[in-house]
Amino acid sequence: MRAIAGLWRWRHNPLCRPTDLAEAGVALVGLLMILTVAPLVGALAGGSAQDTLQRSVREQHASRHRVTATVVRPLERAPLTVDPEGASGGDLRSRVLADWTAPDGSRHEAALMASLDDPAPGDRFAIWTDDEGRTVARPLDAETATTHAVLAGIGAAALVAALVEAARRITVRRMVHHRYARLDREWGRAGPDWGRTGADS
C-alpha cells in the first residue's frame, strides 16, 4: 500500500515521465492480476480436478473388490526390472502361485506378487480384483485424490502467475526499448548542434 501511495504522489513530480507512469501502471495491473486472477484460476482448476478425481474414486471403489488370495506355492523370483531410483527395498515382494475366489464366485489361479517375506503354501494375502476376478491396481482413495486436486490447483495458480509476470516483463521491456529509440531520435536531431548554442559561426 505504501508503494501505491508513493506512486500516487509521484505522478505529480516534474521529473516523472509519462513512460514511468505507464511502466508503474503495468506493474500494478500485473500485481493485481497475480493476487486475484491466479488464485481464482487455481481454485477453479482444483475444484474441477477434485470433482473428476472423486468421481473416479467412486467408480473404482464400485468396480474393484478386495479379496483374499491363498498361496499355492512360491515361485522363482522374476528378473529384477524395477527402476532402482524409483523403488526402495521395501517395495520388493515375493512371486507366488496363488488362487482366489472372485466376487462373482468364479475361481482363479495365477502367478502374483505377494507382500510376504517368506511365503509358504496356505499363506493368505489381500489382492484387488474386478467383478470377473481379474487382478487390478488398488483403487484410489479420497484423501489421495484430494491431495492431487490441491496440487493441480496450486500448479494452475503458479502457472497463471508466471504467465502474468512474463507478460509484464515483456511489456516493460518493449516500453523501455521504445523510450530509448525515441531518445536516440531526439538526440540525433539535437546532436549536431550540441555545444554550439548561441554561436554565430
SS (H, E, C) 134-193: CECCCCCCHHHHHHHHHHHHHHHHHHHHHHHHHHHHHHHHHHHHHHHHHHHHHHHHHHHH
Tell me which of 188 and 5 has the higher pLDDT: 188
Region 144-171: what's the mean pLDDT?
A: 94
The residue among 126, 33, 109, 46 whose CA lies nearest residue 72 is 109
For residue 123, give the H/E element and its range: none
Tell me which of 183 and 6 has the higher pLDDT: 183
Check whether 100 has a pLDDT greater than 80.
Answer: yes
Region 15-41: what's the mean pLDDT?
A: 83
- What pLDDT sits at residue 14? 63
Check whether 83 has a pLDDT greater than 50.
Answer: no
- Which range of 77-81, 183-187, 191-195 scores highest in mean pLDDT? It is 183-187
The residue among 78, 77, 71, 47 whose CA lies nearest residue 152 is 47
Check whether 49 has a pLDDT greater than 90.
Answer: yes
The residue among 107, 43, 26, 31 whose CA lies nearest residue 72 is 107
Check whether 86 has a pLDDT greater than 50.
Answer: no
- What pLDDT sits at residue 57? 93
What is the Rg, in whole angstroms, of the alpha carbon atoms belonging to the chain?
34
Grid cell, residue 54, equals 472423486
Grid cell, residue 140, equals 484410489
